[in-house]
């Protein structure tokens, strides 16, 4: 996981998809819908691998899913797909997934903590790598040592789909940090990062894979080839920011969690002339929850430009980024006291520019509310970032408030987050333990 420079959020979320059918069918429409449902998890590049008689065809494109499927026809019974945010390795076509080697195709969501070490050892043995991604480390270990090698050697977070021979294999890391779920479609099965992809393809959700579980899907159906554990430590940010609101992860509704987080924040006593609004898009449901709990009016005063691209954004001018990304309904917020609800706060740079923009538009006081605990440190389970990039690592809440220019600032507590999600979540970046 890295930091998304454009949104000032953690950036981890690739998306994986796998399809196995009882017979060959034209699947381009369904697969398009499935990958499109995962588009929020990765917008830099995308790709598919599918079996075409006795060979595997691998098609990859930079950009969005639309670019991949333009004019594409797919007749197959076995396919995997991927949407990517680059967390390890540059954003280019070489590193785009699925990866292919020796008639095996693999797609991966997550980040390895010992990928460099394993890669170095494999290269000493003469094994060659063609990409800069840690995902290829998983592929090479699988080629050399199979599934057992992956679980014995690899550390970090991973949800993986593999296409080998006439089989579809899906696996989840031993801690269950990254989600993988299984669904049924009319003549086969689907595996995906999120349940929303299964539903988008017209399938029905069966279950989440357990932590450390591996399943195989072939002509005989679904079989468990490595048993998992019910002790799961799903990354809390899947619920806070990464996943789509209509998904369920480990039996928990993402949208409902975000609303509940807002309700916890809303246990405050503000006068009725205050206006509640969310920072779109993932701040919207927490803001609605806040408004419901506090009995204050919700107004969408901050809107997001849906047509902002990423390719030509100047990397060093965050002010222009915020101006391009958000626009303010000035007549709605002028001379108003605002309660602005955001899903998380990493560096604080985007929040700072947004608050400046709101005050310039005429807002009075701005009470900034964050629907996650304060982020205190990097995560050693797969976040490729430094503590110096996290404002909560070296500043206390009052110092952060002053830095971003809010009149007041409040976060969800880690205890409140656990109270609604349960203990089966990873909170390392909040607690450093």
Give catalytic status of residue 14 as yes or no. Answer: yes
Label the pairing between strands 408-411 and 366-370: parallel
What b-and-e string marks burial along 16-48, b requiring 16 or more CB atoms within 10 Å of the CB? bbbbbbeeebebbebbbbbbbbbbbbbbbbbbb
CB 85 within 8 A of CB 14: yes
Integer Cα distance of 393 and 120 in angstroms: 32
> Hey, CA dihedral for 255, 107, 344, 249, is it positive or negative?
positive
- Angle between helix axes 115-124 and 135-153 (nearest 10 degrees) is 100
Q: Virtual CA dihedral for 237, 239, 242, 247, nearest 10 degrees?
A: 160
Q: Which candidate, 322, 307, 321, 265, places its Cα nearest to that of 289?
A: 265
Q: Which of 14, 46, 196, 235 is catalytic?
A: 14
Using DSSP's 3-state secondary structure scheme, residue 98 falls into coil
H/E stretch holding 143 reads: helix 135-153
Output the six-digit token pair for 402: 């002053």
Please report which helix (H) or strand (E) contains residue 67, including its range. Answer: helix 65-69
Contacts of 18 (CB under 8 A, 6+ apart): 79, 80, 81, 107, 161, 163, 168, 170, 190, 191, 192, 217
- In angstroms, what is the C-alpha Rg of the chain? 22
First-to-last CA distance in the chain? 18
Q: How far apart are CA 235 and CA 193, in angstroms?
A: 13
| 3-state SS assignment for residue 399 | helix
Q: What residues are annotated to the active site?
A: 14
């Amino acid at each position: 996981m890295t930091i998304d420079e454009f949104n000032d959020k953690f950036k981890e979320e690739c998306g994986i998809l796998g399809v196995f059918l009882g017979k060959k069918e034209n699947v381009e429409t369904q697969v398009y819908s499935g990958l499109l449902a995962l588009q929020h998890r990765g917008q830099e590049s995308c790709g598919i691998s599918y079996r075409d008689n006795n060979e595997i065809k691998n098609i990859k494109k930079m950009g969005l899913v639309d670019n991949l499927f333009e004019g594409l026809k797919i007749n197959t019974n076995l396919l995997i797909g991927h949407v990517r945010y680059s967390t390890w390795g540059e954003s280019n076509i070489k590193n785009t997934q699925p990866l292919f080697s020796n008639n095996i195709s693999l797609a991966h969501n997550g980040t390895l903590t010992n990928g460099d070490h394993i890669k170095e050892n494999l290269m000493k043995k003469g094994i060659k790598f063609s990409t800069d991604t840690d995902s290829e480390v998983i592929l090479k270990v699988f080629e050399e040592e199979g599934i057992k090698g992956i679980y014995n050697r690899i550390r970090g977070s991973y949800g993986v789909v593999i296409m080998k021979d006439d089989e579809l294999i899906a696996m989840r890391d031993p801690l269950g940090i990254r989600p993988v779920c299984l669904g049924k479609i009319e003549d086969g099965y689907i595996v995906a990062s999120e349940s929303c992809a299964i539903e988008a393809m017209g399938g029905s959700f069966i279950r989440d894979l357990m932590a450390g579980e591996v399943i195989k899907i072939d002509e005989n159906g679904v079989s468990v080839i490595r048993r998992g554990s019910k002790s799961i430590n799903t990354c809390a940010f899947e619920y806070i920011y990464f996943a789509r609101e209509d998904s369920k992860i480990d039996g928990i509704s993402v949208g409902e969690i975000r609303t509940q987080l807002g309700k916890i924040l809303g246990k405050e006593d503000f006068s009725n002339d205050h206006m509640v609004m969310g920072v779109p898009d993932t701040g919207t449901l927490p803001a609605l929850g806040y408004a419901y709990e506090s009995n204050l009016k919700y107004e969408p005063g901050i809107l997001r430009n849906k047509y902002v691209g990423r390719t030509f954004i100047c990397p060093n001018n965050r002010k222009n980024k915020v101006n391009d990304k958000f626009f303010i309904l000035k007549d709605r917020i002028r001379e108003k006291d605002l309660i602005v609800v955001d899903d998380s706060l990493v560096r604080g740079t985007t929040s700072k520019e947004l608050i400046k923009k709101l005050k310039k538009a005429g807002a009075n006081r701005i009470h900034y509310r964050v629907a996650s605990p304060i982020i205190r440190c990097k995560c050693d389970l797969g976040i490729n970032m430094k503590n110096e990039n996290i404002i909560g690592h070296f500043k206390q809440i009052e110092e952060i408030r002053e830095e971003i220019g809010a009149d007041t600032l409040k976060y969800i507590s880690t205890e409140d987050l656990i109270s609604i999600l349960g203990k089966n979540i990873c909170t390392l970046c909040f607690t450093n333990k």
